[in-house]
Amino acid sequence: MSATAAVVVFGATGHTGRFVVTELRRRGFATVVSGRDAARLAVLAAEWGDVEVRPATVDDAGSLDRALAGAAAVVNCAGPFAVTAGPVVEAALRAGIPYVDVAAEIEANASMFADHAEAARAADTPVVPAMAFYGGLGDLLVTAAMGEWTAADTVHVAYGLNGWHPTPGTRVAGRVSHERRAGRRVRFAQGALRYHDDNPWEQDWVFPEPVGRRAVIAEFTMADVVTVPSHVAVPEVRTYMTVEAARDLADEDTPAPEAVDALGRSDQTFVVEVVVSAGGVERRASARGRDIYAVTAPLAVEAVERILAGHARTTGVASAGAMFDAADFLRALSPHVSVELPH
């Protein structure tokens, strides 16, 4: 392990948190595992053998300060982020270290920009929310597809999942989001998040081969509606989800993901395609890979590595596309993700 300051993973015992710890260790980062369950942290630390354990809870600011003391950065993997993001980013700013999270919750990400931008800017510290499959990957693809464009008329992000076995954390976060918006649905239109009671509908989306034409749920709104407009001048962002994945998520009996390889990945595959339009011209970009939870780890850890190496484009709260060179970042994700960008 590196002799330099460690990266703290808060929520290290969760499904995604374990992937993030593994990726940090693979890249040689000294790692501190943190979270509320000291016993589970100790079990995992014994399994890993080379991590430090620092239990902490979001309702105890002192414990968070102790967990982050002397650290280089923190990755927050503990949902629901409506509960954890605020306390953990505030602790990061007190410690003067970069904060990255993997939040997919729309409202939690919107709150990060609304509530913490001023403090993060004053601290001159990078804060990157939604640095994950949902929110981060789509934002990077949109930014890379736009190239020299600084504005667009519309942005569409289509998720072609062959299925979705949600983790317990995903289910809890979904319930929290549902409650926060009183059961309403959300879209980004006319330059703002808007809540509504319209019923969802299906349409076809032609994904890159070999996926091809698939039925999708239109306006299956994901965190891209927060990350993309945070730095792209665009009045409308729409996201779509394959019907199979949406049904899996809605079914309370759908089991959690099961590992089928030595890396702990499930057999779920994905392709994400973005279409950006401006002045009647369309540009497309896509990414394909395996296991939406496992692929979040190289996304989050690549972000941390770039920030610590001085390759961030700004400080304060910024999405992936605003913080990094999007095309270069996406290419660095190989072999985890295969990317097709405009020439």
Residues 69-89 have pLDDT tens digits of 999 999 999 999 999 999 999
Which residues 6+ apart lie within 8 Å of 28 measured at CB? 1, 2
pLDDT at 180: 87
d(CA 325, CA 217): 31
Mean pLDDT of 103-127: 97
Percent of the chain with pLDDT over 90: 94
Q: How many CB atoms lie within 10 A of CB 94?
A: 14
Domains belonging to the chain, first-starting first, are 7-131+296-327 (3.40.50.720), 134-292+335-340 (3.30.360.10)
Residue 107 pLDDT more than 60? yes
Percent of the chain with pLDDT over 70: 99
pLDDT in tens, 126-160: 999 999 999 999 999 999 999 999 999 999 999 99
Residue 57 pLDDT more than 70? yes
pLDDT in tens, 282-340: 999 999 999 999 999 999 999 999 999 999 999 999 999 999 999 999 999 998 999 99
Residue 1 pLDDT more than 90? no
Residue 2 pLDDT more than 60? no
pLDDT in tens, 171-200: 999 999 988 888 899 999 999 999 999 999
Residue 253 pLDDT more than 80? yes
* Helix or strand run (H / E) with residue 187: strand 185-189
Band (209; pLDDT cuts 50, 70, 90): confident
> How high is the mean pLDDT of the chain?
96
Mean pLDDT of 49-65: 97
pLDDT at 255: 96
- Please report, for residues 53, 58, 67, 127, 311, the alpha-carbon distance to residue 62 in angstroms, rounded to integers and kept in the order given: 16, 9, 9, 21, 31
Residue 16 pLDDT more than 80? yes
Q: Are 326 and 274 in contact, with CB atoms under 8 Å apart?
A: no
In the chain, what are the helix, strand and coil shares in percent, each to the nearest 5?
A: 35, 25, 40
Which residues 6+ apart lie within 8 Å of 309 measured at CB? none
Band (117; pLDDT cuts 50, 70, 90): very high
pLDDT at 210: 83
Classify strands 213-218 and 201-206 as parallel, antiparallel or unpaired. antiparallel
DSSP H helices, the chain, are 15-26, 38-48, 61-68, 81-95, 106-123, 138-146, 168-180, 224-227, 243-250, 296-308, 320-323, 326-332
pLDDT at 41: 97
Q: Are 318 and 126 in contact, with CB atoms under 8 Å apart?
A: yes
